[in-house]
Chain A
């Protein structure tokens, strides 16, 4: 199935360099509409104001971490169906289970390549 490369993706991470890394990888994979947000609070604002089809979020962030953000998305009737890819670090696998329980669509472990990221996105998007 062809994935719409024009879909709106929001990248949520407090570390600007990391956002850029992920953005570059997404661009390598052909995605064009990428928005950034610094944390869950910012991301929720973005979700309300812009058309977003896919969320890629870091776990560890100030203000509202990835899990809290995920829960907030799932609790919002307008947003609850959005695909949500969680970015986690190695060695924090207990977090992954928490995220899965909270309804994450997929997770990806840092560091990853454009190919792996692209595959994850496709896997998740195909299910929709």
Chain B
């Protein structure tokens, strides 16, 4: 009785076995065997029948070999049969005598022999199979898909890595990093991309060991994975370049060095690989370091940290900005997303722009206006409300959350702060705020400079921070939100703050301003954007060469953006950049000169005034000026520039618009302000692209065409004229 359940299990295995045809145990049959053997092993263990247990366990591992094709089917089948017979024997013997004296060693040995020697053969088979796959699929469109998706996966990995560093215990993070590596490896195997496959494989393995807690998460480990990810990204970008035909120099990835570093982490010994190699698995590293040396100038001959590849790659990353945001694991499933070529979207939005204009022309048509048909006027107004709705919706299509850009910044902060030997945490706010995808690329460079600046100049050293009673770890906050038609991006640090007096002193020293000028705090802060300005006492490879902030200023002006700076000594600084949501629409002020209408970007306008006669001056050598609150600003007569007949020639009869260009303001003379309007920017076409003073055209609400003025260009024109 005692052994009945055991024996019936064995019998059921044996009867299943009888139904197998062709001496081959297939997967579904193996499934049954596995589950029954598992039950048998448990049962044998409970009853302390060690022989039965070990035979069943032997069969279990034999079965594994069979289903994994590690051994020949027929040999496996025969051995399995022997095992079942042996188990039946043991069962009978226990039932009758309560024990078993026979030999199980021979069986165990035969299984070991079977599984041991045949492994090599099946590996060979695997290699052959792969070679076959090589030739079969070399589809270019597959490669393209792989590149796009692969790069997205890498972005995802980076983000999760940074999260993991914050929460080393979070297994979800580890999994979220493991999975993309695994997927990349899988496809790379199909596409015959060996280096990519091997690299992804190394990283995947490493993460697998993190997952099984064989290795603990340390910042060294994160570094290695980040470097590996960078290399992987470089490989994929290289693949892309190759595909596009503009192949750069061959890229060498030192997998051996990476393996070595991984070994060192595993054994928890210091890196044996050279530091320089450590910084970059990529070869291109050298050039950057040399440049640093040249730029070193007065810097004491201390060791300059080698430039990290991560950063170089991130700026390289602008070539391939993320096109669609991958949904986060948590909120998946409920939002269906399709991927659309950005070109198609741009075309659609362009066409909608045309539609809006045509619609407005119909609305302003004299026939329509004079027509008393109520139905027509109702339909026309319906048409215009639909088109304006359509325009809003289509512009929204191109909107993507700012999150991705922020995440790249947080990677940048990590690399930069390490090089600068500072501890900096990044906090993000409002990362779901949406922005035109075409703007994402445009704001990337200015943001990089601002963030660099915050790390290098903003955040103070740990010692100073402790001395001041601040937390040792610095903080950079990235915040985005909508205000009016703009998106505001704030970059704040809790560091030193801007030193008003130092900036002023420096600016006077460098003859960037006149010491007599009376400037507000805001004006003084903005001096740091002037070309050639730098208050950094020493030059590092991060910033301080006096380039950078003026790059910000230029980019920012191109985008019709405004910068506001708020700062307090030892409390930190906040740089707020306010960008238009899209480059396709502009907030403009419509002005009239004679019978012409012009549009001035609202962001450039400082003031509107009707000057009194006394404020007008004409000084020889200096030209015409208007006194605006104590400042003598040059007067620009728009009608002269455009060669038209104005209504007023005397400034005191007309209106003056104070407009800001690059670091200077001037007064534009206009006849009348007609109002403010949101206009759709139309390009003037190739032939007029280089026309100075005009940045585009727009159809105004009344159907008339107006030119959009470019203040800086106008200033240059007026200087040439005057």
Contact = CB atoms under 8 A, between A and B. Distances in A.
Contact of B130 (A42, A111, A127): A111
Contacts of A58: 186
Interface stretch (B45-53, B131-139, B521-529): B131-139
A17 B35 CA distance: 35
Interface stretch (A4-12, A46-54, A95-103): A95-103
Given A24-B137, A104-B27, A113-B132, A62 B332 contact: yes
A123 B26 contact: yes
A113 B137 CA distance: 9
B329 A62 contact: yes
B179 interface: yes
Interface string A87-109: 00111010011001111111101
Contacts of B185: 89
Given A63-B332, A116-B129, A18 B186 contact: yes
Interface stretch (B142-150, B421-429, B544-552): B142-150
B289 interface: no
B611 interface: no
A110 interface: yes
B337 to A, nearest CB: 10
B668 to A, nearest CB: 54
A15 B186 contact: yes
Contacts, number: 104
Interface string B178-199: 0100111111011100000000
Interface residues of A, number: 43
A104 B133 CA distance: 24
B136 to A, nearest CB: 5
Contacts of A91: 205
Interface centre among A15, A18, A90, A127 (most CB of B within 10 A): A15
Given A111-B133, A111-B190, A101 B329 contact: no
B121 to A, nearest CB: 16
A100 B329 contact: no
A2 to B, nearest CB: 19
Interface residues of B, number: 40
B64 interface: yes
A101 B34 contact: yes
Interface in B138-194: 139, 142, 145-146, 149-150, 153, 176, 179, 182-187, 189-191
A79 to B, nearest CB: 16
B672 interface: no
Contacts of B126: 90, 109
A96 B149 contact: no
Nearest to B30: A100
A116 B146 CA distance: 23
B133 A112 contact: yes
B64 A20 contact: no
A96 B67 contact: yes
A14 B182 CA distance: 11
Contacts of B183: 14-15, 18, 60
Contact of A17 (B130, B146, B329): B146
Contacts of A114: 136
Contacts of B150: 17
Given A18-B187, A105-B28, A107-B27, 7 more contacts: A15-B184, A15-B187, A17-B150, A21-B142, A24-B142, A62-B179, A101-B31
Interface of A: 14-18, 20-21, 24-25, 28, 39, 41-42, 58, 60-63, 89-91, 93, 96-97, 100-107, 109-116, 123-124, 127
Return the 10 tightest CB-CB contacts between A and B, nearest first: A15-B183, A111-B189, A111-B133, A17-B145, A111-B190, A17-B146, A106-B27, A100-B31, A101-B34, A110-B186
